[in-house]
A = this chain, B = another copy of it.
Amino acid sequence: MPDLVASRVRPGNGLPVVPAPEAERKLAIICSKSSLDMVYPGLILANAARMSGIDAMLFFTFWGLDIVTEKKVDHLRFSPVGNPSVPFPTMVAGLPGVESLATRMMKGDMSKLDIPGVREFLGLLSDSGARLYACGLAMDMFKLKREDLVPQVDGVLTAMDFFDSAEGAQIIFI
């Protein structure tokens, strides 16, 4: 990737500004879910992309908006209900306390693998140059304002804005 990154033509570098979308590799991840087992894949993929010199943006929409909501980010949970990979029968998985247990187990698994908690992970991604955007429609749906979101959020986008930003990107919907 280094040669690709080096060959980027950006405004203000003394070269004429020419459209060169094909010269820049981009990734756009749409995060639509809040269960921890679907939150971490998005964060991990975005991080790997940045480490590979790939431009990365995350778009938080629907339940995924919880990930960047100040009051929710530290309380995201993992539901084992309806997931055949998890060794709890559904009747047990649905019992009070089992979701909390499963959440603690998943957080423990992540921690053992040196994967940071979600809030810290958002900070690392932001510091690495990934851009974090909240979906305006989802904010209306959940009656949230900009100040309800974590400070790492770079802005609020409509779906049309998203497509503008994601031109030429590989898109991953989680």
Residues of A within 8 A of B (CB): 1, 22, 25, 27, 30, 32-35, 37-38, 40-41, 44-45, 47-49, 51-52, 54, 61-63, 66, 76-79, 81-85, 89-91, 93-96, 99, 109, 113, 137, 140-141, 158-160, 162-164, 166-167, 169-174
* Bound Cα distance A137, B137 (Å): 34
* Interface CB pairs A-B, < 8 A, 30: A25-B167, A27-B163, A30-B172, A32-B41, A33-B85, A34-B85, A35-B82, A37-B63, A41-B61, A44-B137, A44-B159, A48-B159, A48-B160, A48-B163, A51-B160, A52-B160, A52-B163, A63-B85, A66-B85, A79-B84, A81-B90, A89-B96, A89-B99, A94-B94, A113-B140, A113-B141, A170-B170, A171-B171, A172-B173, A173-B173
Taking CB as reference atom, which chain B residue is nearest A163?
A: B52
A173 to chain B, nearest CB (A): 5
Copies of this chain in its oligomeric complex: 3
Contact between chains at B89 and A113 (CB < 8 Å): no
Contact A90 B84 (CB under 8 A): no
Q: Among B22, B85, B90, B174, which residue has its beta carbon within 8 angstroms of that of A93?
A: B90
A45 touches B77 (CB 8 A): no
Bound-state CA distance A77–B34 (Å) is: 19
Contact assessment for B83 and A63 in the assembled complex, using a CB-CB cutoff below 8 Å: yes
By the criterion CB–CB under 8 Å, are A169 and B170 in contact? Answer: yes
- B164, A1: Cβ atoms under 8 Å? yes
